[in-house]
A = this chain, B = another copy of it.
């Protein structure tokens, strides 16, 4: 695959949130991007280190998590076509509390912090882009937040089946359980309960 094609997905993404992006603007933006290949199990962000990049997933699957008392809690999964980053650490330049790790061999398109600051300086419309990205990330975060709050465990599981069925294929169940905020045992019970309900109906 030629290098320039590696930015195709990201370009489509940008075009969606900023249709007025000029060819020159995009050309300069593209010059600041870099492609990175990470192997399964490799870390993209580690707890304790400042997150220096926003990463767009071209191909593959990653998880975002944190540790409490030696237990891993998964915050989210991120597959092709989405941004993943500890944006908090990225913005504040403070050490990350999180881990981001590849669950499959993954291809990322990365925007480095310093390059983005350069972009803001050089290309005036970049602040507009920066605003839109920040707003976009805010929207995504508050949406996942609301689903987490609104629904019961069972509803959230059913939602997951409906909205992200690929997760069930690509991710072991103990990770789904952690993502839902319960133990694998409890997750197993819920599934058994749902099967019994379906049989009864």
A residues near B (Cβ < 8 Å) are: 66, 68, 73, 87-88, 91-92, 97, 120, 124, 127-128, 130-131, 134-135, 137-139, 141-143, 145-146, 149-150
Contact = CB atoms under 8 A, between A and B. Distances in A.
A138 B66 contact: no
Given A127-B127, A135-B134, A141-B138, A150 B88 contact: no
A139 B91 contact: yes
B68 A139 contact: no
Copies of the polypeptide in the assembly? 2
For the complex, would chain A's binding face be called helix, strand, loop or mixed by DSSP majority?
helix
Given A73-B149, A145-B145, A149-B73, A91 B138 contact: yes
Given A68-B150, A124-B124, A149-B66, A88 B131 contact: no
A92 B143 CA distance: 11
B141 A142 contact: yes
A91 B87 CA distance: 19
Contacts of A127: 127-128, 130-131
Contacts of A143: 88
A138 B139 contact: no
20 contacts: A68-B149, A88-B138, A88-B142, A88-B146, A92-B139, A97-B146, A124-B124, A127-B127, A127-B128, A128-B131, A130-B131, A130-B135, A131-B131, A134-B134, A134-B135, A137-B138, A138-B141, A141-B141, A141-B145, A145-B145
Contact of A91 (B88, B97, B128, B135): B135
Contacts of A66: 146, 149-150
